[in-house]
Structure 1
Amino acid sequence: MTGRIRDEAIRTVRERASLSEVVSEVVALRRRGRSAVGLCPFHAEKTPSFTVSEERGFFHCFGCGEHGDVFAFVMKTQSLTFPEAVRRIADRFGVPLPEEAGEPARRREPLTAANAAAAAFFQAELRGPGGGRARAYLRERGLSEELIERFGLGWAPGAGEVLARHLRTKGVPLEDALTAGLVMRRDRPDGAGGVLDRFRERIMFPITDTSGKVIAFGGRILPGRPASGEPPPKYLNSAESPVFRKGHTLYGLALARDAIRKTDRAIVVEGYLDVIALAQAGIGEVVAPLGTALTAEQLRLLRRFTETVIACFDGDLAGRRAAARSFPVFLEAGLWGRGAFLPAGEDPDTFVRAQGRVALEGVLAAAEPLVEAFVGALAGPKGDAVGRHAEAAREVARLLKRVREPHEFDVLVRLAAQRLGVREETLRSEGAPGVAPAAAPDEPHAPGAEAMLVELMAEDATLAERVAACGIIAEFQHPEWRRAAEALAQRDETERQARLEALPRDIRERVVRRLLEERPDVERERALADCIAHIRRRGPRGEERRVRDEIRAAQARGDSEAVEAAMRRLKQLMDETQAEKART
């Protein structure tokens, strides 16, 4: 495995790569002025709305809003991470890629090799004479030979050191086998040491990273296996290692990612056999956590491929409670999430084998937002009680504080407000401490001064630096525009590009149109000066409006002291305004 890619190397790859050439492998482009257009690969359309600007180095679809640079295009079309996309493009255009390989990165490659050797061993054992019971069990579960091979299933024999001896013959160092969690040290009664295979008499499920490299294993005992003493756990996973972190990994994702991208949904089930059973039924966009509750990191991994995530639960009370517990995790990952509830006592494996794909698709189509289960669990039997409903709203607002990205926060606030029947401003103020409730823009039907400044900053990095330097961002009244402006003021070009992609779609499209129209510099300068002047002029007026609102609120509650204080502040503001007019 490789290390961190240096920033200067990323810039070189971006400069050397031809965006049009990369896009042309997927989209038939034709020239239109200084740009090229074609049918969007991200949504179905008959009239081309997908634009590629080689000069500016970005693509944009005016139909669905997808936007980005050459790295974003490869990430989206090939479901790659950013480092994977950089390496793929660097190989394509012959750009050498020096990397910063630290000690953790150097340790990954031999561990991956050890896991690959173990996977081949387990697969051979399943096909051999010792794998007869395991093969019979898999046939009983309805798994075809094609599925067994596709998922790389295997068998770990019961003898204590079979894998350890095999790895030695393949030249795998003992320390690598120990670190990968394939074998473990044991102490014998006679004082002699030795090693023992971690997995014994288990059906083996290889666990891979998103690129398909084996990084760990899950092992399942066969039913009815005689046991002496304490019964072994039904499932056993590899220990965590430099290549494997359980809470950051999803079973089946490497095989499911193309189907996820094609269907624009991901289905989360509980176990390995659930994933394989649904794949056998023709539903390939399925993944599973690794024997533990779903984590926010696993959901963030899924978000690279889709924002439509459906988790399957049992339809009984325990399943509803599990769905309610999962909602905060989805929210933390920036996902709304939906829950599909199976009949009580069923799991996806047994249900799809008994009822078929059509029945399961019906259950998935009826999936409901996880917030329904969450609110239901909070409200209890008196779900219509005003107090319990308000409590649910406060709890959702508290959970929204976990959302990291500003634009994810905006979308989730709108969805939560609609479901809970509360004002967006309430959730914004309670869910994002330190940020004032969103004030209405000055010009509701046209881009106001703040929105226009954000457009200009996104269009030109030099202008963004000037806007940041003059301190005008601190005077923004609308939280969304302020957050966008602060993000665009970042000097790092890669970060700026990511922030541009995260802008609200209407602003992003206005920025793209500006870039494609090649407006004169003098026009940008005039717009910049006008916007800054407008924001600075409105300052006292906005403060006066706020103080007048304070006066009305104090009068309504009969607070005479607050009324007098606010009146004094209003007079001071009006005097300052008159003095400013006299000076000009």
Structure 2
Amino acid sequence: MRINPETVERIKQTADIVEVVGDFVSLKKKGANYSACCPFHNEKTPSFNVNPVRQIYKCFGCGAAGDSIKFVMDIDGVGYGEALRYLADKYNIEIEQEEVTDEEALRQNERESLYIILNFAKNFYVQQLHESDEGQAVGLSYFKERGFTGEIRKKFELGYSLDTWDAFSKVALAKGYSTQLLEKAGLLIHKEGSQTAGYDRFRGRVIFPIHNVAGKVIAFGARILKSDKSKAANQPKYLNSPETEVYHKSDVLYGIFQAKNAIRQLDHCYLVEGYTDVISLNQGGIENVVASSGTSLTVEQIRLIGRFTPNVTILYDGDIAGIKAALRGLDLVLEEGLNVSIVLFPDGDDPDSYVRKVGAEAFKAYLKNNAKDFITFKTEMLLQDAGNDPFRLAAVIGEVVNSIVKIPDAIKRQVFFHRTSEMMKVDEQMLITEGNKILRKLHTQKPQERAPRPGYQAPESPADLDALFSGDSQTGQNEPPSDFFAPQTSQTEAPQRSKLYYQEEAFIRLLVVYGARELEPSITVCQYVLSEIEGIDFKDTVFHHLLVLFRENFNRNHVLPTDYFLNHHEPEIRNLTIDWLANKYELSELWSEKYEIFVPFETDVLDKTAFINILRLKKAFIEEKMKVCLQQAVHAKTEEEQTAVMSEFMYYKGISMAAAKELGSVIG
């Protein structure tokens, strides 16, 4: 089914760009707009801008731009229809649908089909936990034994899979889901050469659904509960979904959907290892916690945390060998600019067992009193191992310095050099010198620009744009929308533009952004500037097209508003409009409040701006004609022809000099 246009328009009008983006990224107020580090490429300095007035976003680093719907499409890797459904669900908008043709139904997107079947599986497992005799006796008893309340079970959508070969797949196939889709979702295992439909991957286990940042189920973790040790011996304690089109283990943190708001509000994230650690801490009132699900921490997971806070505390159990192995990978966290602390629990305890042993309040106090920054923690641990052995001590110095130089902030590096010198009783300048050697070496090897995040790729052609439309999440899809914002393609070199091109752009920008504004009563910017350039046409095809649009509409006594271009059916025009509306910098209020220096905004001097734009455009237009005259003079066959051409050239030059004088330009 296709979402009807009225519902689409209602979703667009209701969705607030600040709220939508804020669900995925921590935004900070910056003047009239909001800013953040871009979620679409790796950066340390925020260049991602959200404009609440225009309801658009723009990254000045990678060029990503669009509205609320486009943001959801890009951040979650879904199609237009699924993005609409996400926003409709967020704002409690009832979706009205239309029938689609059989051909449109066949174009259903595989990714969205996976989301649908995974959500169906989650609901099935939840139902089995609460409604089946086996689920209540085995799964529910286990969760209650762990102290998980009904509210917590609902929050994390915990479930149970029956201990039979095909309990789930039988129901799913009966509902019309295909065997191929079940296999692609990692829910069904089908042996090659077998004539049977296959068997369920998860059997006789409690189920932990894994959600992405948007709250969609993308995979499952499952824990075996068999009491018969002989049967359980050949099976892993935990079983996870395989990698699929929508699930990449290295990109995901368990509990991020449930934790993101708390992480943002508290400006802090706790990182644990397992599913039950996350749930137990939530049970104790600590909601800003996520898990790496037993995998080594990856750059993608670190950046996911970094979207919401730069402050992360990693909670380790008492396994010293495991901690030492994990420390080797934590330099990645420092390199991404996060502030890392470590908490170590007593031997035999992990976050889950310790919070159940001492209670929530004592647990929070323990975290507060035992957290150590990563550099201090690493230094103390390595020094303890090294003892008085001078060779091992030298190696410790090298390891710690190597970690310190991973910190991007120079001031933080200086602080840690000073602290480390005191702990190791070595000269601080020696540590800095060693650090500088490493930095110089890294500078010659390390690329200056990081690649965009995995999964984000700008389309290179109209065909690629069409391929991004993955359809609705039911049995058909919406048509490619008129409000789709195509990401800008990356370019290795900026295209060579003539002076005339930039003057045409400045002129069209003035029309698009301020065309409907009045310079004087009953005289709009559009009326004034169009009347001053009669007889001039633009060379650039896009700018020429826009100029014709303004002229045709003005002749019908209608001035096109800015929103018309923000929602234009041509992606290039939409992207240009966003570029013209987005302000990379905000003027500090201190200029007027503290220093009493009043800087006029563009809207305050529109009359002067319009006049100067017209003069510059005419000057550039005339100079192009002068170039043509010079070329004609070179190729003139007779003296009379050459004289006529030069006479025309001098006429144009006179106009150009008059315009330059008016503009205050210096003529060589």
TM-score (norm 1): 0.58
> Distance between the aligned counterparts of 2:19 and 2:233, measured in 1?
61
Residue 71 of structure 2 is aligned to residue 83 of structure 1: yes
> Distance between the aligned counterparts of 1:248 and 1:104, measured in 2?
28
Matching residue of 1:433 = 444
Q: Which amino acid aligns with 2:225?
A: L
CA contact (8 A) 1:183 1:196 kept: yes
Structure 1 residues 291 and 497: CA distance shift in structure 2, 3 A: farther
Report the alpha carbon displacement of residue 67 of structure 1 after superposing the two structures with TM. 8.8
Report the 3-state secondary structure (helix = DSSP H, G, I; strand = E; otherwise coil) of the residue aligned with 1:220.
strand
> Distance between the aligned counterparts of 1:360 and 1:104, measured in 2?
52
Cα-to-partner distance string for 1:500-546 (whole Å, 9 max, x where unaligned): 68xxxxxx88699599834899xxxxxxxxxxxxxxxxxxxxxxxxx
Structure 1 residues 304 and 297: CA distance shift in structure 2, 3 A: same
> Distance between the aligned counterparts of 2:583 and 2:377, measured in 1?
33
CA contact (8 A) 2:212 2:218 kept: yes
Matching residue of 2:180 = 175
Matching residue of 1:70 = 51
CA contact (8 A) 2:204 2:224 kept: yes
Residue 373 of structure 2 is aligned to residue 369 of structure 1: yes
Structure 1 residues 350 and 393: CA distance shift in structure 2, 3 A: closer
Matching residue of 1:207 = 210
Report the alpha carbon displacement of residue 363 of structure 1 after superposing the two structures with TM. 2.6
Report the 3-state secondary structure (helix = DSSP H, G, I; strand = E; otherwise coil) of the residue aligned with 1:164.
helix
| Count of aligned pairs | 409
Q: Which has the larger radius of gyration?
A: 2
CA contact (8 A) 2:114 2:246 kept: yes
Q: Which amino acid aligns with 1:148?
A: R
Report the 3-state secondary structure (helix = DSSP H, G, I; strand = E; otherwise coil) of the residue aligned with 2:230.
coil
Report the alpha carbon displacement of residue 130 of structure 1 after superposing the two structures with TM. 1.8
Report the alpha carbon displacement of residue 372 of structure 1 after superposing the two structures with TM. 2.5
Residue 417 of structure 2 is aligned to residue 417 of structure 1: yes
Report the alpha carbon displacement of residue 151 of structure 1 after superposing the two structures with TM. 0.9
Report the alpha carbon displacement of residue 434 of structure 1 after superposing the two structures with TM. 7.4
Structure 1 residues 285 and 84: CA distance shift in structure 2, 3 A: same
Report the 3-state secondary structure (helix = DSSP H, G, I; strand = E; otherwise coil) of the residue aligned with 1:305.
coil
Residue 309 of structure 2 is aligned to residue 306 of structure 1: yes
Cα-to-partner distance string for 1:286-322 (whole Å, 9 max, x where unaligned): 1111221221211110110111111101245335414
CA contact (8 A) 1:325 1:374 kept: no
Matching residue of 2:250 = 247
Report the 3-state secondary structure (helix = DSSP H, G, I; strand = E; otherwise coil) of the residue aligned with 2:314.
strand
CA RMSD of aligned residues (A): 5.1
> Distance between the aligned counterparts of 2:441 and 2:583, measured in 1?
25
CA contact (8 A) 1:397 1:428 kept: no
Residue 280 of structure 2 is aligned to residue 277 of structure 1: yes
CA contact (8 A) 2:207 2:222 kept: yes
Matching residue of 1:331 = 334
Matching residue of 2:155 = 150
Cα-to-partner distance string for 1:52-81 (whole Å, 9 max, x where unaligned): 44xxxx3589xxx99943279999xxxx99
Structure 1 residues 364 and 497: CA distance shift in structure 2, 3 A: farther
Q: How does 1:389-538 map to 2 (within 5 A)?
A: 390-396=397-403, 399=406, 408=408, 410=410, 413-414=413-414, 416-420=416-420, 421=428, 422-423=431-432, 426=436, 428-433=439-444, 517-518=599-600
CA contact (8 A) 2:405 2:439 kept: no
Report the 3-state secondary structure (helix = DSSP H, G, I; strand = E; otherwise coil) of the residue aligned with 1:345.
coil
Report the alpha carbon displacement of residue 357 of structure 1 after superposing the two structures with TM. 1.4
CA contact (8 A) 2:35 2:50 kept: no
Match of 1:194 among 191, 194, 197: 197
Q: Which amino acid aligns with 2:347?
A: A
Report the alpha carbon displacement of residue 496 of structure 1 after superposing the two structures with TM. 12
> Distance between the aligned counterparts of 2:69 and 2:418, measured in 1?
34
Percent identity, aligned pairs only?
Answer: 28
Matching residue of 1:343 = 346
Structure 1 residues 158 and 71: CA distance shift in structure 2, 3 A: farther
Structure 1, unpaired ranges of 5+: 1-15, 27-40, 44-49, 93-102, 401-407, 436-464, 470-490, 502-507, 522-584
Answer 1 or 2: higher relative contact order, Cα 8 Å, separation at least 6: 2
Q: Which amino acid aligns with 1:432?
A: H
Match of 1:286 among 278, 284, 289: 289
Report the 3-state secondary structure (helix = DSSP H, G, I; strand = E; otherwise coil) of the residue aligned with 1:215.
strand
Residue 241 of structure 2 is aligned to residue 234 of structure 1: no
Report the 3-state secondary structure (helix = DSSP H, G, I; strand = E; otherwise coil) of the residue aligned with 1:433.
helix
Matching residue of 2:558 = none
CA contact (8 A) 2:255 2:291 kept: yes
> Distance between the aligned counterparts of 2:362 and 2:314, measured in 1?
16
Cα-to-partner distance string for 1:207-232 (whole Å, 9 max, x where unaligned): 11111111100000015344338521
Report the alpha carbon displacement of residue 252 of structure 1 after superposing the two structures with TM. 0.8
> Distance between the aligned counterparts of 1:276 and 1:138, measured in 2?
10
Q: Which amino acid aligns with 1:159?
A: T
> Distance between the aligned counterparts of 2:165 and 2:411, measured in 1?
54
Q: Which amino acid aligns with 1:119?
A: K
Report the alpha carbon displacement of residue 198 of structure 1 after superposing the two structures with TM. 0.4
CA contact (8 A) 2:27 2:35 kept: no
Report the 3-state secondary structure (helix = DSSP H, G, I; strand = E; otherwise coil) of the residue aligned with 1:227.
helix
Structure 1 residues 500 and 166: CA distance shift in structure 2, 3 A: same
> Distance between the aligned counterparts of 1:142 and 1:18, measured in 2?
40
CA contact (8 A) 1:115 1:214 kept: yes
Q: Which amino acid aligns with 1:198?
A: R
